[in-house]
Structure 1
Amino acid sequence: MLTDRETAIFEAGIKLGALYHQWVGTPISRRSAASVETAIEQAVILQPFVEEITVRLNRDLMKENTFGYSELSGLMFDVEIITRVRYSYCHARLNPCEGYPLMKVVECHEIPEISRN
């Protein structure tokens, strides 16, 4: 049986992994980046256990091809997500680290029982 903390961590990881694999390769341009950021946020926030999500895409990496767009790559992502399972929270992030789109747990915490009322 998993604890609420472990479940919050799992949910954060699975959401970031799904987001990454669902959106990589999406046609994108600097003009459309804001709407893609919003679309990703609005899609992920609907999922169970997601409290907050912020998506920022690095526009400097968007090099237009002959047809006027580029493809979304993992290194363009800077995503922060907070998941909550009952009183346990997980803050996780997807962002570039040494040329790799790294997903990591930033911090986890639990609201103390005395503060739950």
Structure 2
Amino acid sequence: MNVNEKNGVNEKYFSNLSNRERAIFEGGISMGALFHQFIGTPVSSATAHQLEKTMEDSLKLQPCISDVKVEINLEKLGELNSEFDYISLSGDILNVQIISEFDEAYVLIKMEYINELEYPLMYVEKIKSNE
């Protein structure tokens, strides 16, 4: 039994959603939170791995999120000339995968920079559901 069932949260607040819709909702909310919480964070090649792990760990605390993979494209960080050099984290250097699950529903949500769009696009890549 997950915490949502134990406390009646799903029945009280999400009964109008299917399990599939709930998994998509939670994954989308988490992706938006990641983007707006961490964009602008100072990052360098020395701190990128630690920032990736921090982002992953913080999102795994959200309801229904079973896995998160964050990659900061170190090649796009460029050459930093001193120990004081860094850039601000931006969407064009992030690749993110979030797996959101609710009951039997499984959703893979991604964010990646799409060159043709010149935009860090968030989208649902895969859905597995019995509904």
> What TM-score do the two structures reach when normalised by structure 2?
0.80
Residue 33 (structure 2) aligns with: 18
Return the letter of the residue paired with 1:107. Answer: K
Q: C-alpha separation between the residues in 2 aligned to 1:86 and 1:65?
A: 49
Q: C-alpha separation between the residues in 1 aligned to 2:81 and 2:37?
A: 22
Higher share of residues assigned strand: 1
State how many pairs are aligned. Answer: 112
Over 2 Å off, 4+ runs: 63-67
Return the letter of the residue paired with 1:47. Answer: Q
Identity %: 38
Residue 49 (structure 2) aligns with: 34
Q: C-alpha separation between the residues in 1 aligned to 2:112 and 2:30?
A: 14
User: Please, which of 90, 93, 97 is the counterpart of residue 80 of structure 1?
Assistant: 97
Segments of structure 1 that go 5 or more residues without pairing to the other structure are none
Residue 105 (structure 1) aligns with: 124
Q: C-alpha separation between the residues in 2 aligned to 1:40 and 1:87?
A: 26
Segments of structure 2 that go 5 or more residues without pairing to the other structure are 1-15
Q: C-alpha separation between the residues in 2 aligned to 1:62 and 1:108?
A: 33
**In angstroms, what is the RMSD of aligned CA positions?**
1.6
